[in-house]
Every structure is written in C-alpha cells, then in structure tokens.
Structure 1
Amino acid sequence: MLQYDDSAFYFVALSFITLYIVPSWYSIISKVNVALFSTDEDIGAISRTSAEKQKAVELKKSSKGLKTLNSTGFIVNFVLTLLCSAIFLWLYFSVQSNGEVNSFDPFNILQIDTGAELKEIKKAYKKMSLKFHPDKNPNNPQAEATFMMVAKAYEALTNPVAKENWEKYGNPDGKQSLAVSIGLPEFLLNVDNRNLVLLTYLVVMVVVVPCAVWSYYSNSSKFGEKDVMYDSYAWYHHNLNEHTLTKSLPEVLAGSAEFRERNLTKSQADKDEIGRILARVKSHMQKPSYNHPVVLKGNVLLHAHLARETDVLSQSTGEDLRYMLRYSSSLIDAMISVCKHQESLKAALNCIKFGQYVAQGMWIKDSELLQLPHFTEKEAGHAAKGKPSAKTIKEYMAIPNESKKGLKEFTDEQKEDIFKCCDILPNLAVESKVYVDDDEDDNVYEGDLCTVAVTLTRKNVAEGEKAGLVHAPRFPFPRREAWWVALGTKEGKIISIDKVTSAERVVVHKIKFLAPRAGHYEFDLYVLSNAYVGFDHEESVELTTQDASALPEYKVHPDDAELDDEPTLFEEMMNANIEADSDSDEEDDSDEDDDDESEEDGIRELTEEDLKKRELQKARKKAAAAAGDDSDSDDDSDVEEVHAD
C-alpha cells in the first residue's frame, strides 16, 4: 500500500496544458508575425498604379502594426496562454525536482536518513505510531492510512523476510501486481474537501459543459458551406430564379443574414443619413422590393459603392459598407451555387457579372473604360469618339499607347498608370475541344462519357509566371484573379459551372457529362472573369451523337468466355462454407453412420474388385446379425443366401 501523491497529476496536467498552449502560441506568433514582420505582398498591399496607393495604405493600417492585435479575442487568448504557460513552467520544475511517482521507501516514511541504525528506526517508529495512532485520531482516515504505512515501513526494516521482499520487489509483502496512480491532485481525494469537490463537479458538469456545448452548437449550426449562414441560403433560394436580373442583385446581397445585425439602424441619425445617401443613389437603383430597414440600408450602401458615391458616407456607414464588401465574394459565390442548384444559367451568369461590378465599383450602364485609373465618363466619352475609337475595354487595350484617346488632360504619371493598368488587365485566349476518353473512334454514341476541355491562356502573363492580384482600387480588399467556366443548354439549363482559381499562365479545365440520345446538339460555353468587366467569352460547342445500336457487335474472346465459367472468389468461399457446414453436421451423427460414411469415402478411391469385396463383407455382417450366428461358415452360407435372393 503506497501513500498517494501528486506526481501522476503533474504529468497529466502537463499533457493537457501542452495541448492548449502549443497551438495557441503558434496562432499568437503567426498573428504577431503578420502584424509586425509581413511584407506588403503578403497582405496584398501593393500599389502598381497610383490609384492603388490609397487602397494599399488602408490595407497596411488594417493588417499591420500593433493596433491590429487590439481585439478582444486576441487579448483574452494571449492572457490565458501566458497564465497556462506559467502553470506549465511550475509543473515542469515540480516534475524535475519531485517527478518520480511515489514508491515504497521506509526511510522516507519514517522520516529518517537512509541507512539509519536500528535504534534510530525504533525511535522514529515509536514517535510516529503514537502520533498517528487511530485511537488518538478518531474518524481520520488519513491518519489511519499513515499509521499503516509507518507499520509497514518498520516491518520492512526490522523483519528479515519483509526486508528481503522490499529490497527485491520494492514491497515488504513480496511481488505485487502493477499499481497505477490516479492523475488527480491530492487535495481532491481529501475527505475534508469532498463537499467542495462535489459542488465543483456539479457546476462544471451541469452548468459549464452544457453551456459550452450549447454555445458551440448554436453558433456552428448557423453556417453551411463556405461559412455562409443557412439563413442566407434560404434568402437566396427565395429571391433567385431564372428571371432574376442583375440590377436586383444588390438588394438580394443586402438581405444576407451576415449583415442583419450590423445593418440594424439604431438611432434616428442613422435613418436620416441613409435617407440622404438614398437621395444620391436613387437614380441608379431599381425600385426596392423590401422596405425592411436592414435590407434597405444594405441596398443603399451597396449602390453608393457601385455608383462611386462613397464620399457622402460617414465613418460609421463607411465601416458598415466595408464590412459588407469583406464578405461579398463568398456570398456571391453562394448565390451562384444556389442558381446552380436551380439549374438557372441566366441567373448564375447575372450573379457572376454582379461580382464584377462589385469588384470594380461600377454599375450596369457605366462604360467599361471606368476600370482604368483616373478615367471618368468624360474621358470614356472622348475615347469612344474619333479614330481610333474604343467603346469597350478590349478595343482600348488593342490601340497603341501613343494613339489612345481621352488622355489629353492627364499628367505623364497618370498616363503611365493607364498604360500600366492595360498591361495588368487580362488578355485571355480560350480554346475548347469535345472528345470521348480512350476512344479510337471519333464518333460519339449515346451514353458515352464526353469531355469538354477548355484551355485558358493568359497572354499578358510571361512564361513561368503567374497572374497577380486583380487591379481593383475601389474594392478595399485584395482579390485573386479567377474565371468562371459554365456550360449550358440552349434552353438555359446548367450542365456545369465551376470557378477556376489557378493562377498559371495556361490552365486546362475539363467538363465531363454523359452524351445525350442520338441527335445534333449545340451548347453554350461561357468563360467569365470574377473581377473584371468586359472580358467575358462566349462560344458555341457542337456535339453530334449516334444511336448506341450502331456500335459494332462486341465479340467475346474465347479465353474470356472460359473465364466467365470459372467460379468467382465469392462463390468459392460460399462453397467452402457449405462443405464445412455439411462436415459439422456429419460429425453429429451416430458412430455407426460415421463408420459407414468413412467406408463410403474410402470406396471412392478403390478399384471395382475391391468394391465387390467390400460389398461382400457388409453382406456377411448383416446376415450374421440377423441369424445370430458368429461362425465363419454360417456367415458364408448367409452370404450365399443373400446373393441368391
């Protein structure tokens, strides 16, 4: 019997604390590294043109510096991590100094030096036994346990047999089974603290744990794919259909569940400000379908961004708009997924185009040239007049720099920004091919697995390089260039729609589908940018399928036909099980039946002559049993009679 100590608890506590502080410190160091040591490229704060400088400055303010760590979550986690780290160090040094799990040491129990003489042992035993005697410590289990340990220690040092057992096995009672210590602190096992322990256990198990589980479940159950709330998906399903137009999508996005708490107007001043902004952007808006304050506020703020009227926003409403734009990309992707589920190609394409307008801060009737830095409607109008004229962004990019219109009032630096932007804007070449995998025949038959391979080549990206960030100075967050590839029927049904996010110069995206029944088909292939307006590509994909009955008859090779007749592995296993079951049933029969069966089994391996001899012997036995005569002669006569019969 060993006295319980805290050594095992130290190891258990170290293990559990390590599980928390290691990932926590990793998270803290990562955030500090981003805040203090990250480069501008790491956070997307690059300024390739002067138009991007303000955006880069704002990104640095929000992503770099100690002020970015001034959040409640980070501070709470940092304090808890420091506290747990201090506890970890205390436990570590405790293990170093007294980390050996308690073992039976009679000298330590009697509180004497190792190797003490018998006189000193007896003196210590007498002193401690009187101190912890049960008669002097009634109703004290701890004193009783200590008294027993003192007696065992004295016995281990004075009794030759007990001493030998202790030296050999570490226990005066001899070899013992393995004992495992409990990883709990000693004070929890103290009888005096049992009420406190039970109360603490009750509070933790009945209050703390259920509340933590409920909090986690209530928060996590609100979110679906891509961390978009289920209420947002329900809202999109209700408002998106095949007749949805692009101009109605700002209101749909404004009603997302993620914005409802943020966009709740809390004072009359907020309502008045929204009214003033509405007056500025009303000409760009479709008549609202919902007059709910939350939806109306979000709708107005989004139109202020699209109409480039953000200069009228206060700091508070500006932060609200920034919050909406932060989550706009993932929410628009969720809107596209809902359209995909509804198989509505037109609505999905409108959602993609809406994402382009949000990225560039422009709206439906705006000129595509407004994507160029410093351009306004005035410069766009000049560029569309005269020769060479350019009404689209692609036409303007194709014009040599010295011949570009609309640059008369710009400085050399501003002109350089425009030329630089034209180099950044995508120059995409699209090629498509329809084929059937592993098919030597060029014909496509009903039910074949068809592949439409779409090859995207970025001509503005050099060999070995990758596409950079989108040039979107009015969108306050960095965006990666991506392309939506959609294949649909002429009736407007979606066959496939995927977002290609690879930044490589050449990207091949494959769309697979089963060939329809015999006939000639035309499909619409769309390649749309996720962030640029005017670079969308559309082409027709033709497919002619033939009836499967026109396929040549398939002839089975003779070797393959023989393989079909062979039993499968499953059939062999089943036959083996059946034979095993029959053998077990035979073992349960009588001894006489076993003898007969063993003889029958042996007959299968005998010749015809041996078979006749066996039949003759069996006939003799039967005749002898019937007549009750054991003589050989009688057996012979009985056999003859049997044969005669």
Structure 2
Amino acid sequence: MSTDYNYDDQAQFFPYFILTISALVAIPTTYSVLKPSKELADTATRIEPTAKVKYQDVIEGHRKVEKRKELKTKRIWTAVLAWSMIAYMFYLIMVTARTALKIWDPYDVLGVARSATEKQIKSHYRRLSLTYHPDKAQPDASKNTTIESINEQWVEMTKAFKALTDEEIRNNYLQYGHPDGKQSFSMGIALPKFIVSDGNGKYVLLIYGLLLGVLLPYFVGRWWYGQQKRTRDKVLVASAGHLFKEYDHEITEGGVINALSSGQEYQDMLEGSKADHGISKLEQRILAPGQFPATAAGLSLKDRKKLEELDEGARRKALALLWAYLGRIELDDKELVSEQYQVAPTARLLNQSFVSIALAYMNTAPLLAAYHASQHIIQAIPPGGSPLLQLPYFTPDVVRSIEGAESRTHLTVQGLLELSDAERRIRCVSSGALSKEQYNTSMAVASQLPLLKVESAFFKVVGERFITPSSLVQFVVKARFVPPGKKDLPPVDPKELEDPDPVEGDLDALHGRKKEDKEAEAGKPIQPPLAYAPYFAQDHAPQWHVFLADSKQGKIVVPPFSFSTFNKPLFDKMGEPSYAIQTLKMQFGAPPQVGRYTFTMNLVCDSYIGMDTRQEVTLVIDEASKAQDIVEEEDISEPEEDSIAGQVSALKGDHVPRKKKPAAATAEDSDDESGTDEEDDVSETDTDTDTDDE
C-alpha cells in the first residue's frame, strides 16, 4: 500500500495541531494556578474579632492588590485563553466535514439492511435508479443539487451495488474495504495549503523570522532580566545596593526606617508628579507636636534631622509616608492616604533584605533593630511606641490614660493582662478611656496573641554524654504558647522537657532536620494565626527567629534559625490553648577550645512588639579524653577465673567470676553461671546549662 503525503488544504487536520499546542500550554498553566498554595499566609487562621479602623476600605483595597500579585493574574488569563482555544478547536472538529476519515459502507450508501438478500438489493437498486439516475434526476437550486453532485451520487450508488452483487468487486470490498481494491494511504499534513502556495513563501519566512529572531529572544531576555534584577529576597538589586550603603553597626530602629526609604521600588511607585504631590502638607502633619513625645508621628530629633537632610524627591516622600503610616496620621488627601498604606508592605520586603545585610556583618544591634523595625511596620507603631497600641481601640491618648501620664516605661500586653480584672476595668473603662464593648473586644484579641514562653534551653550532642571541641552541637529550646497574662498554667511534664536521642536509622533527626508530625505530613502545617495587624495592607504569617549572641562583643555567634510552623497543635479540639511543649532546634559547630561559653539567646517574633525573650545560656566544652574514659570504663569487664588476671585476683582473695559458657549450654549449667552486672546505657547526652532570665 503506497503512502501519499499532501497538504491539508481543507483545514481538516489543522484543528488537531492547534488543539495539541493549546493543551501543552493549558494543562501545566492550569495546574500551577489550581494547585494548593504553600504560602503560609493562605492557610493560617485569623484572630477574631476584628475591629474596623479608619480608612478600612483603603487598606482592604491594597490587600486585594497584594493578593492579586500573589495569584499571578497573567497565568490565570493564559489558562483561560488556552482552554477557550481548545474548546473552539473541538467545535471545529465536530462540525467540519472530514470525508477522508469516513468508512465507506455500501449498505449505508444504498440504504438497505445488512440482512437483505441479493434479490432484495437488486430490487431496491432498480427503484433508486428511477429517482437518482442522471437521466431521471434534475438539478434543484433550492436543494443545492447540481449535475455534478447528481453524477457523483449515482457513481457511489453503482459502486455500492456492484460491491454487494459482483463477485470480484465484493471480494475487493471484503478484503480491502473498497470496491476498487487496495487504495493508497493519504496523510494530511496539518498545515493549510495557502501557507506553502506560490508567492506566500516570503511571508512565511517573515513570520518565522519574527517568531524566532524577535519575539522569542525578547521574551527570553525579559524573563532572564527579570530574574537577574532581583535578589533572593525578591527586592531589586539596586535597592539592595542602596540598603548596603545605609548600613551602620550602630543603626537604630529609626535608622532602619530611614534606610528602607532608599529602595528603588519607591522610585517606581512615586514616579513623575507623585513624588512632589502633597509633600509639604505631609511633612507638616508628621512633624507637628502631637500624640508622641517628639512629633505627631513619633520621629525622634535624629530621625527628623535625617528627613530634613534628604533632597526633594521620591525618597523623601517615601520616608514621610512611612512615618505617617507608623504614626497613624490622618491625612485629608485621598491620594496621600492611599500611598500612606501602600508603602508598608514594600518596606517589610525591603527590611528582609536589610536583615540579610546585617547578618553578613554578624553584629547583634543592627539585626535586632531590623527585627524590631519589622514589628513596628506590621503593627503601624513608631519606634518607642507603646506595645498596647497593638490592641484594637487603643490610641496614644488611651495608652497614656491607662499607663499614667507620669509613667516613663510602657506597659506590655502581657503586663496589662497580668493585672486583676478589676484593676484593668478601672484603668480602661472607669477612667472613660474605653467603652465596655471596646474593652471586651480588646481583651478578646489580647488573649489570642501568640506569646511563646521558653520553659527550657540547653545544648547537647546526639549520642554523646559530653560536648567536646569542634563537635556538632544542637541547641534545643523547649517552649509553649501561652495566652498573655495567663497565670494558672498547667504544670509541665518533666519528660517533655527532655530531648531523647533518635532511634538508630532516623537520619532526619540525626542531622537535625525538622520532622513534622502526622498532621503536618498530611499537608496541614501547624501554625499560629495570621498576625493581627489591622493597618498592615497584607496578610502576614508570623515568624520566630532564634539566634545566639556574644553580649560582650556585640556579635552573633550562631545565625538565626527561623520557625513559622510547629510540631504540636496550638489549640485542642475545643479551641482552647493546648499548652503543648514545642521543640525548636538549631545546629552548629562547637568551639575548638575547652571551657565554659556564656551566650545570650534571643527569641524574636517579627510581628508583635514586647514579646521577645532574652536569656543567658552556658555551653560547657569538655576534653575529648573525658568522653573517651567513660567509653573505656563501660567496655572494661572483670577478669575471668581462667585468665592470668583472674588467677592473680583469686590469690589476693578477690571474687572472680567464672568463665561464661557458650549459648548452647544446658539450663542446669547456666544456673551455676555467674556474670557481671551491666550498667544500662544512657542515650541522652544533655549538658546542664545555666539559664537565667534577664
């Protein structure tokens, strides 16, 4: 059977080609859009109730914009267009006549049953000839019949009749499926013929040149440039360079806020006339005397000087907007209000890059300043502001009424809740600072803030009793989430404060990798609720950072380990706090010298102010020989009576055990056998540490 290749000039196979290409685009794009999000901000619960704040509609609008960025709208539209093309191609395939694919059936052509006899077929054919023979049938424009179509129809009927009555033609049909015998196989190439027709070749070359020489390099270059112009922290490379120049080993939280305003993202956000719009009015509002000691927005004299030293432009306005956001300044201009809440998510993103720069220098003060700046940005509170401003309805005036006008220190959320209910009500309600409804809402929110209370912290080496120089040390923190102000806490089981060595073969535990429980393995990471931050125009999942520092030198000894999910539930089935002990681990190399090393453990949450933990811990490094002596003592056994050492011991009058008999010895013999008592192996090798809260 010969094969004939031809072009699909009737566009019968072209829909299949387009359908295949569309499917290659639609399927992976749809999967990327519909697959469950692994972003913690999309899976966490929320703290309720939520109190509305002024300009709530503006803040929610910016949250939706940030959400659309995460959803990758371009992919959604690409998937929709691809599936629309697939549906249209299916429609063309269904409605387009594909005669080349039809199976020729003589019974269907004549309109007779397959059980009809030859006599019945001849009789039926004679009746058809009276109507469809070219000498009998007449062209009819209304039925769209022409002489050519009449002749073609009668030829098909004649072939069908002969296939069912003529012996030779019938054999051809039965053997080859066609009355004319073996047919050539025709394969249509899925390209319309007009593409390769004479005179169209130059246009085809032009299209290929545009696709391969212009569009493809453009999109690849755009993708590559987009990947290269941002750092691992997803900020512009130019912004990272500006932040690097702003770094100072004595930088404060206000200095970090000033440094964040140098980000190139703000230059793009406030391009053109936006950089100058309302700048004088904005600065007048934030620098005016007001609710905070120095200025209305909480700028210190140093921060004010930095603002005034900046040249007019996008950076100066971005810095003014950041302070207006932190001070919760009310602006009359709608455009300024929109920009006021737009700058915060960008500032937090830039702050992540600043954290990376601070870690490169390993100085403690800049790192803590960056972490605290993150807390203030998320909570919309200026540096030095009261932690009570995190609660709904708490304003600077309310805080002054509760703390007292003469108070020089701020009250934390847990400090407020540790007061008796009567005392709190006197300060908050009886004084007229809050209404009863506002007080109840505030306390409901305060009792849900995730305060991580450290119960124990120690060093250990897996499988060893002592920590020797240059060994691989684990720093283990045992903590539990406690509602702020909670007093009658359930006691901690001492066994839960231990950290037994993993079983042999558990490589994840031996290497210090976090092993989630069954619920986490099932795709449900156990995490705290989203950060309660009504002014922050983005959903944020809180993180806890643990690092060790040398307080004398102001240097970071062990870089931060970050935790956003935990290995035990935070709440029980009734929704009450579980008080389960959470285990946080970080691994590092021990110092190469023997001695006692006192470090400062810092446990910092990036979302809440006043909930940090600072604690002294001591790492004891022993001589390697000490651990070796313990091993040798455990391995040494008493001499047996048959040995020389056993005979010498017997002459001295010492008790000498008999030689152990083989395992195949009889029960009677084994009863006379005496052996040495073996000490139980101790798998836990925790090192006692001094942990004094500061």
CA–CA separation in structure 2 for the residues paired with 1:273 and 1:386: 30
Distance 1:41 1:313, change over 3 A: farther
The answer on 1:15 being equivalent to 2:20 is: yes
SS of the equivalent of 1:452 reads: strand
Distance 1:434 1:179, change over 3 A: farther
For residue 209 of structure 1, what is the amino acid of its counterpart?
Answer: L
Deviation sequence 1:114-169 (CA, Å, 0-9, x none) = x9x9xxxxxxxxxxxxxxxxxxxxxxxxxxxxxxxxxxxxxxx9xx99x9799659
| Mapping for residues 451-490 of structure 1, pairs under 5 Å | 451-460=474-483, 467-490=528-551
CA shift at 1:75, angstroms?
9.5
| Mapping for residues 584-603 of structure 1, pairs under 5 Å | none
SS of the equivalent of 1:533 reads: coil
Q: Which residue of 2 aligns with 1:401?
A: 421
CA–CA separation in structure 1 for the residues paired with 2:187 and 2:366: 66
Q: Which residue of 2 aligns with 1:94?
A: 92
The answer on whether the counterparts of 1:49 and 1:420 sit within 8 Å (CA) in structure 2 is: no
Q: Which residue of 2 aligns with 1:371?
A: 390
SS of the equivalent of 1:3 reads: strand
CA–CA separation in structure 2 for the residues paired with 1:519 and 1:256: 45
The answer on whether the counterparts of 1:388 and 1:403 sit within 8 Å (CA) in structure 2 is: no
CA shift at 1:302, angstroms?
0.7
SS of the equivalent of 2:49 reads: coil
For residue 93 of structure 1, what is the amino acid of its counterpart?
Answer: Y
Q: Which residue of 2 aligns with 1:540?
A: 616
The normalised TM-score by structure 2 is 0.61
Equivalent of 1:514 in 579, 589, 593 = 589
Q: Which residue of 2 aligns with 1:4?
A: 7
CA–CA separation in structure 2 for the residues paired with 1:192 and 1:106: 37
Q: Which residue of 1 aligns with 2:468?
A: 445
Which structure has more RCO (C-alpha within 8 Å, separation ≥ 6)?
2
The answer on whether the counterparts of 1:232 and 1:258 sit within 8 Å (CA) in structure 2 is: yes
CA–CA separation in structure 2 for the residues paired with 1:75 and 1:449: 47
Q: Which residue of 1 aligns with 2:436?
A: 412
For residue 367 of structure 1, what is the amino acid of its counterpart?
Answer: S
Equivalent of 1:219 in 222, 226, 242 = 226
CA shift at 1:23, angstroms?
6.0
CA shift at 1:352, angstroms?
0.5
CA shift at 1:434, angstroms?
2.8
The answer on whether the counterparts of 2:260 and 2:350 sit within 8 Å (CA) in structure 1 is: yes
| Mapping for residues 189-228 of structure 1, pairs under 5 Å | 189-228=196-235
SS of the equivalent of 1:225 reads: coil
The answer on whether the counterparts of 1:390 and 1:396 sit within 8 Å (CA) in structure 2 is: no
Deviation sequence 1:451-480 (CA, Å, 0-9, x none) = 111123111299999632323233233333
CA–CA separation in structure 1 for the residues paired with 2:544 and 2:324: 26
CA–CA separation in structure 2 for the residues paired with 1:94 and 1:304: 59
CA shift at 1:24, angstroms?
6.1
Deviation sequence 1:218-254 (CA, Å, 0-9, x none) = 3232122142222222222222242222111111111
Deviation sequence 1:568-624 (CA, Å, 0-9, x none) = xxxxxxxxxxxxxxxxxxxxxxxxxxxxxxxxxxxxxxxxxxxxxxxxxxxxxxxxx
CA–CA separation in structure 2 for the residues paired with 1:208 and 1:185: 23
SS of the equivalent of 1:485 reads: strand
For residue 470 of structure 1, what is the amino acid of its counterpart?
Answer: A
Q: Structure 1, unaligned stretches of length 5 or more?
A: 32-39, 118-156, 558-645
SS of the equivalent of 1:425 reads: coil
CA–CA separation in structure 2 for the residues paired with 1:251 and 1:390: 25
The answer on whether the counterparts of 2:15 and 2:92 sit within 8 Å (CA) in structure 1 is: yes
SS of the equivalent of 1:539 reads: strand
CA–CA separation in structure 1 for the residues paired with 2:446 and 2:298: 32
CA–CA separation in structure 2 for the residues paired with 1:449 and 1:69: 44
CA–CA separation in structure 2 for the residues paired with 1:508 and 1:444: 20
The answer on whether the counterparts of 1:526 and 1:537 sit within 8 Å (CA) in structure 2 is: yes
The structure that has the greater radius of gyration is 1
The answer on 1:257 being equivalent to 2:264 is: yes
Distance 1:207 1:435, change over 3 A: same
The answer on whether the counterparts of 1:383 and 1:391 sit within 8 Å (CA) in structure 2 is: no
Distance 1:171 1:436, change over 3 A: farther
CA shift at 1:74, angstroms?
5.5
| Mapping for residues 149-164 of structure 1, pairs under 5 Å | none
For residue 4 of structure 1, what is the amino acid of its counterpart?
Answer: Y
CA shift at 1:520, angstroms?
1.2
The answer on whether the counterparts of 1:44 and 1:56 sit within 8 Å (CA) in structure 2 is: no
Distance 1:169 1:546, change over 3 A: farther
CA shift at 1:343, angstroms?
1.6
The answer on whether the counterparts of 1:241 and 1:344 sit within 8 Å (CA) in structure 2 is: no
The answer on whether the counterparts of 2:358 and 2:366 sit within 8 Å (CA) in structure 1 is: yes
CA–CA separation in structure 1 for the residues paired with 2:382 and 2:407: 26
The answer on whether the counterparts of 2:477 and 2:584 sit within 8 Å (CA) in structure 1 is: yes
SS of the equivalent of 1:520 reads: strand
CA shift at 1:512, angstroms?
0.4
Q: Which moved further from structure 2: 82-91 or 489-498? A: 82-91
CA–CA separation in structure 1 for the residues paired with 2:446 and 2:626: 53
CA–CA separation in structure 1 for the residues paired with 2:92 and 2:271: 54
Distance 1:76 1:455, change over 3 A: closer
The answer on whether the counterparts of 1:242 and 1:347 sit within 8 Å (CA) in structure 2 is: yes
CA–CA separation in structure 2 for the residues paired with 1:362 and 1:82: 43
CA shift at 1:303, angstroms?
0.9
CA–CA separation in structure 2 for the residues paired with 1:387 and 1:231: 46
Q: Which residue of 2 aligns with 1:331?
A: 350
The answer on whether the counterparts of 2:298 and 2:385 sit within 8 Å (CA) in structure 1 is: no
Q: Which residue of 2 aligns with 1:579?
A: none
Equivalent of 1:291 in 296, 304, 311 = 311
Q: Structure 2, unaligned stretches of length 5 or more?
A: 112-120, 126-162, 289-296, 491-518, 520-525, 571-580, 636-694
Distance 1:514 1:172, change over 3 A: farther
SS of the equivalent of 2:583 reads: strand
| Mapping for residues 221-260 of structure 1, pairs under 5 Å | 221-260=228-267
CA shift at 1:537, angstroms?
0.5
Q: Which moved further from structure 2: 87-96 or 221-230? A: 87-96
CA shift at 1:529, angstroms?
1.7
CA shift at 1:539, angstroms?
0.4
- What do you get for the CA RMSD once the two structures are aligned? 4.8
CA–CA separation in structure 1 for the residues paired with 2:602 and 2:68: 43
Q: Which residue of 1 aligns with 2:679?
A: none
Deviation sequence 1:276-331 (CA, Å, 0-9, x none) = 3454358543422643622211111111122221x125222222232221233332
Distance 1:172 1:199, change over 3 A: farther
For residue 436 of structure 2, what is the amino acid of its counterpart?
Answer: D
CA–CA separation in structure 1 for the residues paired with 2:80 and 2:392: 48
